[in-house]
A and B are shown apart, each in its own frame.
Chain A
Amino acid sequence: MEPAGSQRSFALPSQIEDVPGAEGWRSMYPYFTRFQPGDDKRFWFYNSMHFPEPMPAFDTVTAEIPYSAIGANTARVFVFPTTLGIEHRIVNGRVYITAIPVTDPAEVERRAGLFSERAGFYYQHWDELYEGWKTRIRGLIDEIEAITVPALDDVEDMAVVTESRGVAQNHYLRENFHKCIDLYSKMWHHHTEFLMLGYGAYVVFFEFCKKAFPEISEQTVARMVAGIDVVMYRPDDELKRLARLAVSSGLADEFPEGCDPDAVLTALAGRGEAGSAWLAEFDAIRLPWFHVSTGDGFYHHHLSWNDNLAVPFAALTRYVRQVQAGESLARPTAALVAERDRIAAEYRALLPSDAEREAFDQMLGLCRLVFPYVEDHKFYCEHWFTTRFFQQIRAFGELLAARGVLAEADDVFQLHHTEIDQALADVMLAWAAGSEPLGAAHLRPVIAERKRMLEVLRGWSPPPALGPVPEALNDPAVQMLWGITQQTIDSWYSQSTSGDDSEVRGYAASGGIAEGTARVLHDVNEIGQIRDGEILVCPVTAPSWGPVFGKIKAAVSDIGGTMSHAAIVAREYGMPAVVGTGAATKRIRTGQRVRVDGDRGVVTVLDD
């Protein structure tokens, strides 16, 4: 401990040195993402919840656009009284963020009046507005799915002449690309339109419960709020249905462990009526339920189940075996609903006064009002829409590769969207002129260097926070979205100054104790490395790592709160989970024996 009054500080942004071998990282990102000298005076934290890996240049759009949208909604639309928006900076490929508070009491009062009126309107008309929201989001999905990449044929179609369209297809190259970015931006505006209001209702109920029942675990509060029949469970439920159908149709033998999805699909086509019926069902389910991302949509390589059938098939083969073994895969939804209602009723009954029971009813009612949005928006936004968005960008990459600008389609993600703009202009000009695009010579070395740098940056361990330790961090946005409180920061700080490596602390997200061998996965693509009975240690637990949860004994993550879907999934699987540890992936190594105490939120390294 240090003397009172001295300013505790994490490393300052200006003190972070370039990772050797990747000194050129700044060339990947726009100027407005760089730390400025004045930034040393502010507290920043590493957003490993959304950005656990170094950012490819294009993928920074998943920071730029969401922060542009969320700030607009909190600061300008709903006028949250005590907080504006979120600023982000990139250093060594990692995204750090900070929230901008409103501290002037008069300004807080002014904003509170506006907030009351505006947020009040949304809460009052929530169901009706949410119905409209779903229609608009489905409209955006339709629009992004309808976008085409011009083929740039040798000669324009005759219709361009007969309909006197007057605009040639090279124009649409840029227009349609811009449409992708613009639709993504609109999606995020709608995403964050309800987000903070939804989480606000949750946080308020959490705080109330903590005050009335100081020993209540956050996961128990979450259980009172949770909806049972939520859209996010559908993809997994549909897989279970396919597994049952495979068994009841006598097709189970086509799903051996480790099977190749394409081979299975081909084989099923040769299995007569039963096979065809199964395939028809499979095709019907894929759209939209297989648009679920294997990550959470913040990186281009977070492929969807449709993009990589190996992921759902890993779960499918397991489910087939379970059905064969006579297990019921059905979630006992009626029992879960009854249990949720029993828990809420019992806590309510324990409250000491009628006034508190009425307040409890109001807050729980508000949570259940906002719940469908909070749970379901992820499927529509992060999964379905975002999967389609990245597929469209990849399609532009395919065109650029076909035109010789890129060596391969996925290289498009090594370019910032404004750089892609330039590459498309190059192709548009070349097609019009009848010449060759000049991009290959210019971009290919740049892309090769960026890929090399990203690999180097992957090895860097970003500190969980930068800048002075704030005296009181109670930013509602930060608490709502990242679950970060003063306590989290203190725990990061003590970990950064203590030498004890045997214990990592976080939130107790799902109860129970498990011991096992750690498997540290830095990214969703490493998912195949996990073995039965291992303990998953990862930067962030995402719900759509679904198949993994059938194999592991416990889950540990660097960031995440008890409201994270992972925590809910862990509870559903009845396995211990500790989330929001800040540094588990850095302090634990694959192969170490660890104990995960999901009751206390402690992970202990038992040996080396």
Chain B
Amino acid sequence: MTAELACPLTAIPAPARPVAGGKAAALGELAAAGLPVPPGYVVTTAAFRRALAEIDPDETIPAAIERLSGDDPGALDAAAAQARHRILAAPVPDAVADAVTSCYLALGSPPVAVRSSATGEDSAAASFAGLADTYLWVQGTEAVTEHVRRCWASLYSAESVSYRRHQRLPEAGLAMAVVVQEMLEPRCSGVMFTRSPVTGDPSVIVVEASWGLGSALVSGDVTPDEFVVSKVTGQIVRRAVASKLRQHQRDPAGSGVLVAGVPPQRRDQPCLTDDEILALARLGRRVSDHYGCPQDIEWAAVDAGDGRAARLAVLQSRPETVWSRRQPAPAGQPRARPVDHVLDWLRGSR
């Protein structure tokens, strides 16, 4: 019964998406494939439904919102706020709290990130939720349970509700899962593309990296180091070490992220060793091989101490879309005779 309400990322029952939401399902898939995802668990949509059944047994929340057209932002905001208030004010059902707590204890009670994981097929809706509701460095059973509830409430953020109304999406039967995942304090983080985002070359992996948390790079706060690794030869074929002036790191005073200056002597240092770059590239290949198509991957590298290579983690992976949609001119066509290739080149080169 407990497993139905919350389960480790490695043990999400199929089909994962309706149970765990898109984000947790994706992490679960990576974890199940043996890729190094930070350990964690998912509070399932069943847990959400159990809670909502107690909070809103007569389904007045969806009814109230569906009555509104979406042309009256004030009324919509008010209805959304009312829904959030009801979720945040109600106690979490004991069975759900027990499930959340037992998974958390099983994880070793570390500081965790708590994020919503929406089930909606529409990725834009999901990303609203995801953007709004990520809680970092949450620690302790009560705090975790509390933030799970906040994630639930985010289903009724003004932006999400407004978006659903504009898209005429149904309100009944909505559900939200929540991912609870061990926090990392990475030495550096970044993204990697298993196909060059610049040239579309499918034979290379491009790694971008900057000090601290990956949000520095994703938000554009810093120009990252860039390393290009050949998938075929395993060599680093190009490297551009940037001057990285800022880094995002844990705010020791709170649970947020702090933007800090990078000490001058570290700015121009590459934030990965060659061995780490190559290990990352191998990891990227495993991810893209798993999915069978080029991926954009968020990763982090945590110092292992004693000068050992960093421990690498995959935080997220999405299919590459830009080049995969294009239809570039073929690099060449078969010809009747070998000499035709040479002749084509001789003519074309002038």
Contact = CB atoms under 8 A, between A and B. Distances in A.
User: Does B associate with A?
Assistant: yes
A360 B199 contact: no
A362 B203 contact: no
B343 A347 contact: no
Contacts of A369: 338
B350 A359 contact: no
Interface stretch (A44-52, A179-187, A209-217, A270-278): A209-217
Contact of A215 (B196, B335, B339, B347): B196
Given A208-B331, A366-B338, A479 B349 contact: yes
Nearest to A344: B232
B342 A201 contact: yes
Which 10 A-B pairs rank lowest in CB-CB distance, beginning with the nearest?
Answer: A212-B331, A359-B332, A214-B199, A211-B331, A120-B339, A358-B334, A215-B201, A474-B349, A366-B338, A346-B232
A491 B308 CA distance: 42
Contacts of B67: none
Interface of B: 196, 199-204, 228, 230-233, 235-239, 330-335, 337-347, 349-350
A562 to B, nearest CB: 13
Given A80-B346, A82-B346, A356-B330, 8 more contacts: A112-B343, A112-B346, A124-B337, A212-B332, A365-B338, A474-B350, A476-B346, A599-B239
Interface string A111-127: 01001100110011000
A479 B232 CA distance: 27
Nearest to B330: A356
Interface in A581-607: 599-600
Contacts of A115: 339, 343, 346
A218 B346 CA distance: 20
Interface in A337-355: 343, 346-347, 350-353, 355
Contacts of A211: 331-332
Interface string A73-92: 00000001111000000000
Contacts of B231: 346, 350
A108 interface: yes
Contacts of A226: none
15 contacts: A82-B346, A103-B350, A201-B341, A213-B204, A215-B201, A216-B230, A346-B203, A346-B232, A350-B231, A353-B330, A359-B331, A366-B342, A474-B349, A476-B346, A599-B236
A343 B237 CA distance: 15
Nearest to A369: B338
A199 B232 CA distance: 25
B177 to A, nearest CB: 36
Given A212-B331, A214-B196, A600 B203 contact: no
B201 to A, nearest CB: 4
A359 B345 CA distance: 13
Contacts of B228: 215
A183 to B, nearest CB: 30
B346 A200 contact: yes
B15 to A, nearest CB: 31
B98 to A, nearest CB: 50
Contacts of B239: 599-600
Nearest to B327: A352
A478 to B, nearest CB: 11
A204 interface: yes
Interface string A248-266: 0000000000000000000
A363 B235 contact: no
B341 A116 contact: no
B332 A363 contact: yes
A68 interface: no
A207 interface: yes
A417 to B, nearest CB: 34
A359 B238 CA distance: 28
A563 interface: no
B237 A511 contact: yes
B288 to A, nearest CB: 11
Contacts of A363: 332, 338, 341
A82 B342 CA distance: 12
A81 B343 contact: yes
A356 B332 contact: yes
A362 B196 CA distance: 26
A215 B232 contact: no
A462 to B, nearest CB: 28
A119 B339 contact: yes
B347 A82 contact: yes
B10 to A, nearest CB: 31
Contacts of B201: 213-216
A119 B331 CA distance: 23
